[in-house]
Structure 1
Amino acid sequence: MGDLVIRPATDDDIPAIVAMLADDPLGAQRESPDDLTPYRTALKRLSGDPHQHLVVAVREDRVVGTLQLTIIPGLSRRGSTRSIIEGVRIHADERGSGLGTRLIEWAVETSRSEGCQLVQLTSDKTRTDAHRFYERLGFESSHLGFKLSL
């Protein structure tokens, strides 16, 4: 992994990020790689917020992974700050290479440096392989999640 660079995402990375987001049955239903306009708008919004870290993993000038890390100051847990990891995707050619572990390690290290006391993430209940992956990295299934589409 010596040639791997994890860096903030740029506008030029959007096509590769969206392709990874759409590269599974769930993502294929909710992503629109043919129209990148909303993703570019979202990146501008994210880039202007110091609590948002949208990063890409790059190897040999090719985007091979991505994730979003959000830092959330709060009152609960004695005023602790937490982070949320979202949108973890690894290019199909890189799965099983250790890249996912490296990205999650980056997110945990960054969370610590931002003063977080807790790192959390959600994963669709159908992604059983992802669940095993997160458990291997020390995450525990602790809550039942709910969503309301607006």
Structure 2
Amino acid sequence: MLADDPLGAQRESPDDLSPYLAAFERLANDPHQHLVVAVRGEKVVGTLQLTLVPGLSRKGTTRSIIEGVRIHADERGSGLGTQLVEWAVEESGRQDCGLVQLTSDATRTDAHRFYERLGFEASHVGFKKNL
């Protein structure tokens, strides 16, 4: 699912699973990481990562970051994405986070509308630098 769109196809490499397996191992061993996988029957149909980040700003607020939201093409429009993101927001509250944030590539306009519908605001300008 990570490579299931033009943007993901450019940056993902499903032919070599070793970097993904190593990343999964790191995530599984970090209590601040939550990898959520939705399964229907025997098929993975959705996923997201929720990261908890303790901080000093905002009076020491812990924030959560939603990353890697992916829904299988056959499941898009079914409400599964909404369920996953709503779970992440609720879990963030259970973990005493004061803020939930996410980023979305500037080209993913459908995703932007989806997040806005769920109450997220495009409030900041983000910057990235590849290493």
User: Normalising TM by the smaller chain, what interval?
Assistant: over 0.9
Given the alignment, which residue of 58, 62, 84 partners 1:81?
62
- 56-65 or 128-137, which moves further after superposition? 56-65
Q: For residues 71 and 63 of structure 2, what CA distance do their matches in structure 1 show? A: 24
Structure 2 residue ranges without an equivalent (≥5):
none
Root mean square deviation of aligned Cα: 0.5
State the 1:117 CA deviation: 0.5
Structure 2 counterparts to residues 115-126 of structure 1, below 5 A:
115-126=96-107
Q: For residues 122 and 55 of structure 2, what CA distance do their matches in structure 1 show? A: 21
Matched, 1:45 2:45: no
Structure 2 counterparts to residues 1-150 of structure 1, below 5 A:
20-150=1-131
State the 1:54 CA deviation: 1.1
State the 1:40 CA deviation: 0.2
Runs of 4+ in 1 over 3 A off after TM superposition: none
Structure 1 residue ranges without an equivalent (≥5):
1-19
State the 1:28 CA deviation: 0.2
State the 1:61 CA deviation: 2.5
> What's the CA shift string for 1:127-149, capped at 9, x where partnerless?
00000000000000000000010
State the 1:83 CA deviation: 0.2
Q: For residues 81 and 66 of structure 1, what CA distance do their matches in structure 2 show? A: 23
1:52 counterpart letter in structure 2: Q
State the secondary structure of the residue aligned to 1:34: coil
Q: For residues 112 and 97 of structure 2, what CA distance do their matches in structure 1 show? A: 22
